[in-house]
């Protein structure tokens, strides 16, 4: 589980650096990250 998160963050990081040139992968990662942030905000506001 922790490895997956690390891997995810690495992909996101590479995505923002635009090292990942595959737009679809990049977009999916960004969407996932946005959902993660939204979830965290929801949790904070409850």
- Per residue in 8-44, pLDDT (tens digit) is 777 777 767 766 667 777 687 778 778 877 877 777 7
Q: How confident is the model at residue 46 (pLDDT cuts 50, 70, 90)?
A: low
pLDDT at 42: 79
Which ranges of the chain would DSSP assign to H, the alpha helix? 2-16, 23-45
Cα distances (Å, whole numbers) of residue 16 to 1, 22, 41, 45, 46: 23, 12, 22, 28, 30
pLDDT at 19: 65
């Amino acid at each position: 589980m922790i490895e997956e998160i690390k891997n995810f963050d690495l992909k996101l990081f590479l995505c923002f650096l635009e090292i990942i040139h595959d737009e679809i992968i990049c977009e999916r990662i960004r969407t996932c990250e946005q959902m993660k942030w939204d979830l965290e905000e929801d949790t904070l506001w409850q």
